[in-house]
Structure 1
Amino acid sequence: MRPLPVSHELPPADAGVGVLVGVDGSDGSLWALERALQEAQVHGLPLRVLAAVNPTPSVVTPGLEDVMQDSVDRLLVGMTDVVQRGVAAACANVPGVTVAPTLHVVAGDPITLLLSASARQHTLVLGARGNGGFSRLLVGSVASALLFHALCPVLLVPGPKR
C-alpha cells in the first residue's frame, strides 16, 4: 500500500458522516484502528484517522520559538510515519478493504481535537488505553473524557486478553 496523503487539519465539518478513530501509536490505538476500518467497511462509510500531537508546553520562552516550531514539526513527521504504518498494517489485516482512509495529523490537545472532530460522525473508535504512563488504569484519560463528552457514539476497543 502506498502512503496516503496526510492533512494537518481536522476533518472538514462539512465532510459528512464517517467513522473517526483516534490514533496515538500505542497498541490500543492500533487495535482501534483495525476495528474502525472494519466498522467503516460494514457501514459503507469513510474512515477518518486522527492523530493529535500535543506539543507541550503551551508557553514558549522568548527567543526559542524556532526551536519549539522545529520540535512540533518533528513530532508531526514522526506521528505521520506511525499513522501511515498503522493504516498499512490494519489494511493488511482486514480482508477485502475498499475504504480509503483520510489521515489527519494535527498539533493540539487530543481530547479537544477528538471532541471537535466527533461532531456529525457515525462513531468514534478509541483504544481503551493509549500512551499515557498509568498502565494500571482500566480506561485511559483520553478515552475516559471522550466516553462522556463525545458528540457521537463511542466504541472503546480493549486490548487482547493476556
Structure 2
Amino acid sequence: MAVPVIAHAHCPVIVVREAEHVTQQPPFLVVGVDGSPDSKTAVDYAFEEAASRGAGLRALYVWHPPLLGALDEQAAQQECRRLLSETVAGRGAAYPDVELHHEVVRGHPVKVLIEASTHVLGLVVGSRGLGGFTGLLLGSVSQGVLYHALCPVMVGPHPKH
C-alpha cells in the first residue's frame, strides 16, 4: 500500500514498520546518494531531519561494480567519491550543527543500505535513482529498503513534484 502513496506524494513519506526501534547513541540518520536529482532531494530532507532531531548524518554512495568488471576500478570509485562530495557540498553551511560523514561503499545498494539501517534514527532515499525502468512507481533500491530496512524509511518525492 505504501508504494503508490510514495510514488504520487508531493512531500516526503515516512514509513515506520515497527512500533519500537532501538537507536545508537549519538543518534544519526543515513542517506543514500547516487548523484540523481532524487538523491539530491533526499540529501536536503536528510539534513533537515538531522538538524531538527539533533542527529548526525551518514551519506553513503554504494558502488556496485558491473558484472563484467570496471575497466579502471580505481577511477570508477574516484568518480563515485566526486559525485558524493558534490551532492552533499554546501549543505553543511545551512546546517552547521549536523555532523556529516560520507563514504563510498562497495556492494549492492539495497544490501548495504539495509545493513546501514541497523540502530539508526532513519534511512532517507529518493524515490528513483539513476537506473531502472521509467514505468516503475519506485526505483528498485527505494522499494528494497522500504520493505527490508531495520528502521523508519523516509522517501523523498521526485523533484518534479
TM-score (norm 2): 0.78
Contact 2:92 2:98 in 1 (8 A): no
Contact 1:34 1:91 in 2 (8 A): no
TM-score (norm 1): 0.77
- Distance in 2, matches of 1:123 and 1:80, equals 23
- Distance in 2, matches of 1:142 and 1:51, equals 12
* Structure-to-structure mapping, 1:50-129, within 5 angstroms: 50-57=60-67, 68=70, 71-91=72-92, 95-129=94-128
Note the alpha carbon deviations across 1:39-75, whole angstroms, 9 max, x for none: 1100001100011010021x76xxxxxxx5x622212
- How far 1:15 sits from its partner (Å)? 7.1
- How far 1:135 sits from its partner (Å)? 1.9
Instruction: Report the identity percentage.
Output: 36
Note the alpha carbon deviations across 1:94-151, whole angstroms, 9 max, x for none: x343213101101111111101011001000000000113122221000001101000
Please report the RMSD computed on the Cα atoms of aligned residues, expressed in angstroms. 2.0
Gaps of 5+ in 2: 1-23
Gaps of 5+ in 1: 1-13, 61-67
- Distance in 2, matches of 1:16 and 1:120, equals 10
